[in-house]
């Protein structure tokens, strides 16, 4: 990673930091003296002129967030804040942003809204018409009273009218919005004065009574948008892969999009960056806060102000949309000498530029917080596996292995040296041998959902399949005893060689083909998806076991070889599978799959982001029974079923075109048609039909069962309505999870 703006700045003394800033032209010699001698601090005498009942002045730390680059310009960002880690977190985030070209921020219009409340007009429709008809003369009157503002290109720009009908709780009202460009001033007093100046005119026009004449702090006519795209490689480090960090940040962001409890904390993190900069520049941070939170709830539900997604190239894309109306001139700003010093430090040219910087700072602080949460979550998730790996490397025998792992985790220092020290201590206490060193290997595989085309894919038609990432994690470990399989989450815990399962017979056949059947080892499987729910669990387990065996015994199998072996296991489990489950489990990419001597496996890109809600029923789906049932009916009436499967193919091909065009309305319609075809071949169920109905009623673009059917799961396509669908399913006693496309 490239060096930051001032490398090692945090290690310097205050005096040396000021020296570097002076050498860089950020501050003057006078500013240095003021900062070192504390003469910039607000005095009690001056404070007494600002508010009532003054008894003193309370100080807060003034720090600098470094490394910011916004719209190609470098910034040193002053922050007034007492909370530890904000300055460091922002500087680190800005350094990451800087390496990727810096942030881009956009602000088209920056208008403040003044509200004039007119109560009980003679006729609301006539009132609106008269106000709008006289809009030009009203604006001219307002601007005549403020010629200096007009000369700078500002002033009142437009008038809008809103109507509130009479109810039991309030009278009929007409609300006039006066839209004002305040240029570089915050403009609260200006807007209030402008509203006052036309109050009598509005009373005459409407024959109503003007009551409130005051600005609104919901600055939704001054919305700043900022974005950053971060290379996935930049996100890695300190034991974490870049894609792990990216996916953790995206997952945390997704929760904030659907859950107001998380969204409140998510947005508070954004304001952790914006508020200190607002205070440092003398702006009304309370107004900015009020505006931001009102804007977050503008849809009727409180939502996140920022969003983090994965780009088609695998990078992390962060965006924020937030109302910010600030100023850089005015009497209140000039009353505090520190504000002037900070403005010189920051070197902004306009209030618009300051607002753009604030949005970028908010996005950076949000990134810093989410990255910390994501890596902490990854750390906790990997700590146990890492401790097990370290214990293996240190030579922990089976009889001490679990104890060594637990003590490693408790110590917080998961290193081979620590593990060996723990082993020595335990051997002295217990007298147990440290011989018989064992090793283990970890492998993962993906689950799946069928978007379109299940069952027909068994008969040579195409299907669209999507992965559920890392649905199964498997550990292969050496053992002194006979080989055994453990899948605690699925209540499977037995000897491999003692099992009569056809599936395990096939797995053992794979072991023989790979030359490891005579080895003794344990297979510990951790599935993150439920069993027998049409989500590809058996294929994912087969792939993860075979991949784990390949890693453990250094067989270096290719994905193609792993897929072929897994297909053998699938045939043993399901009779006549299409091969789509094991293919998705192996490759983990959205695919168009079509069985044959040379199977079609085309990668599929989604042109626009969308989400699938997976609804999990309370009834298992027994794939082998459902597949054999369809086959029996096909044999009895081939002409009818072949015609139905041809329709499956037409629907799937239409769905492929819809995905490539980003036409999710059409894709949803194809899902609905596909569900009708699945019902026609008798694989749906009343429970699945009920879940699909719930999803459609809550705004899903389309919904259908997925997998073999008869129970199991359904999927619903949602562009921006995942929460109502998820909540509705959960409230009715089903389980739900979300997959992003």
Query: Degrees (nearest 5) of the Cα angle 495, 498, 503?
Result: 85
- Is residue 382 among the annotated active site residues? yes
Evaluate if residue 495 carries a pLDDT over 50. no
Class of domain 111-216: alpha beta
- Token digits of residue 132: 């709008």
Sort residue 600 into left (φ over 0), alpha (ψ -120 to 50) or beta.
beta
pLDDT at 575: 66
CATH level 3 topology of 9-105+235-376: 3.90.770
Considering the entire predicted model, what is its pTM? 0.55
Evaluate if residue 672 carries a pLDDT over 90. yes
Q: Taking the chain, what is the end-to-end CA distance rounded to the nearest angstrom? A: 31
Catalytic residue among 31, 181, 184, 284: 284
CATH level 3 topology of 440-603: Ribosomal Protein S5; domain 2 (3.30.230)
> Are the C-beta atoms of residues 596 and 460 closer than 8 Å to each other?
yes
pLDDT at 355: 97
pLDDT at 624: 75
In Å, how far from its chain's centre is CA 252?
Answer: 5
By C-alpha distance, which of 313, 311, 339, 312 is closest to 326? 339
Banded pLDDT at 626 (limits 50, 70, 90): confident
Which residues pair with residue 106 across a beta bridge? 225
By C-alpha distance, which of 512, 631, 637 is closest to 574? 631
pLDDT at 482: 66
Catalytic residue among 19, 135, 293, 382: 382
Banded pLDDT at 389 (limits 50, 70, 90): low
User: What are the sequence ranges of the domains in the chain?
Assistant: 9-105+235-376, 111-216, 382-430, 440-603, 611-740
Answer whether 111-216 and 611-740 agree in fold. Answer: yes
Task: For residue 531, give Cα distances in angstroms to 153, 585, 674, 713.
Answer: 66, 15, 24, 11
- Region 388-414 average pLDDT: 75
pLDDT digits (tens, 9 = 90+) for 552-572: 888 888 999 998 888 888 887
> Are the C-beta atoms of residues 231 and 315 closer than 8 Å to each other?
yes
- Region 540-557 average pLDDT: 89
Task: For residue 361, give Cα distances in angstroms to 66, 76, 88, 276, 731.
Answer: 11, 11, 13, 10, 39
Residue percentage of the chain with pLDDT more than 70: 91
pLDDT at 43: 85
- Is residue 293 among the annotated active site residues? no
Tell me the C-alpha distance between 228 and 221, whole Å: 23
Evaluate if residue 435 carries a pLDDT over 70. no
Class of domain 611-740: alpha beta
pLDDT at 518: 79
By C-alpha distance, which of 374, 378, 711, 328 is closest to 530? 711
Banded pLDDT at 195 (limits 50, 70, 90): very high
pLDDT digits (tens, 9 = 90+) for 354-386: 999 999 999 999 999 999 888 865 455 446 656
pLDDT at 158: 96
In Å, how far from its chain's centre is CA 728?
Answer: 22
Evaluate if residue 416 carries a pLDDT over 80. no
Tell me the C-alpha distance between 287 and 358, whole Å: 14
Banded pLDDT at 448 (limits 50, 70, 90): confident
Task: For residue 382, give Cα distances in angstroms to 414, 509, 547.
Answer: 11, 32, 19
Banded pLDDT at 283 (limits 50, 70, 90): very high
**How many other C-beta atoms are found inside a 10 Å radius of the C-beta of residue 172?**
17
**How many other C-beta atoms are found inside a 10 Å radius of the C-beta of residue 412?**
8
- Token digits of residue 554: 């250094």
Q: Where are the alpha helices (DSSP H) in 438-595?
A: 502-514, 537-552, 559-574, 580-587
Most confident of 4-18, 202-216, 332-346, 720-734: 202-216
Banded pLDDT at 432 (limits 50, 70, 90): very low
Task: For residue 666, give Cα distances in angstroms to 579, 584, 637, 652, 661.
Answer: 27, 24, 31, 11, 10
**CA torsion, points 674, 675, 676, 677, in degrees to nearest 10?**
50
Residue percentage of the chain with pLDDT more than 90: 51
Phi, psi of 368 (to 5 degrees): -60, -45
pLDDT at 497: 40
Catalytic residue among 3, 16, 33, 83: 83
Banded pLDDT at 332 (limits 50, 70, 90): low
355 CB-near residues (< 8 Å, 6+ apart) = 107, 110, 222, 224, 324, 325, 326
Banded pLDDT at 227 (limits 50, 70, 90): very high
pLDDT digits (tens, 9 = 90+) for 48-107: 888 899 999 898 999 999 999 999 999 999 999 988 789 999 999 999 999 999 999 999
Evaluate if residue 398 carries a pLDDT over 70. no
- Is residue 83 among the annotated active site residues? yes
Which residues pair with residue 708 across a beta bridge? none
Query: Degrees (nearest 5) of the Cα angle 590, 592, 597?
Result: 130
Catalytic residue among 73, 268, 432, 438: 268
């Amino acid at each position: 990673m490239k060096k930051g703006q001032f490398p090692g700045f945090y290690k310097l003394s205050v005096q040396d930091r000021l020296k570097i800033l002076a050498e860089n032209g950020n501050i003057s010699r006078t500013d240095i003296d003021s900062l070192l001698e504390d003469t910039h601090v607000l005095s009690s005498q001056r404070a007494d002129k600002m508010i009532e009942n003054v008894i003193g002045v309370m100080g807060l730390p003034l720090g600098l967030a470094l490394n910011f680059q916004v719209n190609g310009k470098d910034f040193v960002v002053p922050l007034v804040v007492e909370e530890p880690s904000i300055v460091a977190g922002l500087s680190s985030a800005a350094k990451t942003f800087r390496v990727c070209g810096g942030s881009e921020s956009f602000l088209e219009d920056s208008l403040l809204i003044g509200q004039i409340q007119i109560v009980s007009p003679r006729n609301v429709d006539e009132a609106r018409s008269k106000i709008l008809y006289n809009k030009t003369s009203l604006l001219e009157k307002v601007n005549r009273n403020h010629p200096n503002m007009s000369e700078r290109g500002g002033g009142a720009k437009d008038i809008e009218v809103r109507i509130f009908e009479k109810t039991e709780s309030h009278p009929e009202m007409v609300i006039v919005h006066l839209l004002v460009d305040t240029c570089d001033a915050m403009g609260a007093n200006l807007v209030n004065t402008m509203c006052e100046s036309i109050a009598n005119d509005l009373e005459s026009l409407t024959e109503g009574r003007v009551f409130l004449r005051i600005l609104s702090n919901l600055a939704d006519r001054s919305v700043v948008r900022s974005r950053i795209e971060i290379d996935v490689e930049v996100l890695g480090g300190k034991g974490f892969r870049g894609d792990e960090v990216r996916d953790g940040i995206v997952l945390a962001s997704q929760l904030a999009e659907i859950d107001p409890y998380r969204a409140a904390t998510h947005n508070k993190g954004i304001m952790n960056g914006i508020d200190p900069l607002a205070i440092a520049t003398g702006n009304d941070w309370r107004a900015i806060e009020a505006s931001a939170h009102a804007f977050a709830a503008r849809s009727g539900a409180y939502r996140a102000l920022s969003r983090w997604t994965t780009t088609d190239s695998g990078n992390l894309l962060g965006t924020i949309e937030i109302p910010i109306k600030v100023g850089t001139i005015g009497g209140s700003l000039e009353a505090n000498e520190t504000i002037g010093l900070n403005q010189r430090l920051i070197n902004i040219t306009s209030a618009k530029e300051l607002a753009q910087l604030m949005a970028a700072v908010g996005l950076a602080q949000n990134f810093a917080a989410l990255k910390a949460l994501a890596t902490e979550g990854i750390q906790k998730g990997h700590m146990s596996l890492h401790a097990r790996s370290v214990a293996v490397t240190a030579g922990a025998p089976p009889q001490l292995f679990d104890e060594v792992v637990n003590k490693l985790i408790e110590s917080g220092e998961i290193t081979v040296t620590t593990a060996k020290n723990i082993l020595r201590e335990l051997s002295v206490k217990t007298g147990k041998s440290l011989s018989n060193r064992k090793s283990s290997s970890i492998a993962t595989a993906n689950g799946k959902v069928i978007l379109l085309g299940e069952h027909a894919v068994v008969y040579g038609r195409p299907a669209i399949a999507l992965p559920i990432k890392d649905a199964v994690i498997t550990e292969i470990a050496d053992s002194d005893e006979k080989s055994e399989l453990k899948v605690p989450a699925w209540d499977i815990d037995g000897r491999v060689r003692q099992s009569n399962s056809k599936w395990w017979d096939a797995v053992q056949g794979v072991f023989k083909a790979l030359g490891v059947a005579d080895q003794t080892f344990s297979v510990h499987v951790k599935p993150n998806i439920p069993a027998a729910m049409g989500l590809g669990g058996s294929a994912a387990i087969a792939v993860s076991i075979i991949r784990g065996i390949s890693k453990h015994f250094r067989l270096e199998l290719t994905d193609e070889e792993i897929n072929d072996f897994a297909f053998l296991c699938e045939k043993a489990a399901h009779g006549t599978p299409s091969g789509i489950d094991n293919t998705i489990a192996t490759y983990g990419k959205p695919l168009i799959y079509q069985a044959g001597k040379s199977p079609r496996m085309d990668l599929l890109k989604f042109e626009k982001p969308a989400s699938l809600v997976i609804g999990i029923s309370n009834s298992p789906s027994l794939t082998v029974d459902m597949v054999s049932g369809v086959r029996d009916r096909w044999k009895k009436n081939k002409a009818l079923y072949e015609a139905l499967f041809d329709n499956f193919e037409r629907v799937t091909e239409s769905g492929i075109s819809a995905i490539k065009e980003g036409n999710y309305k059409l894709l949803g319609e194809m899902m609905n048609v596909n569900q009708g075809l699945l019902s026609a071949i008798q694989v749906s169920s009343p429970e699945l039909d009920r879940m699909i109905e719930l999803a459609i009623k809550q705004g899903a673009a389309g919904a259908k069962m997925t997998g073999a059917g008869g129970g199991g799961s359904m999927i619903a396509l949602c562009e921006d309505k995942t929460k109502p669908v998820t909540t509705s399913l959960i409230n009715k006693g089903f389980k739900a999870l979300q997959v992003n496309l």
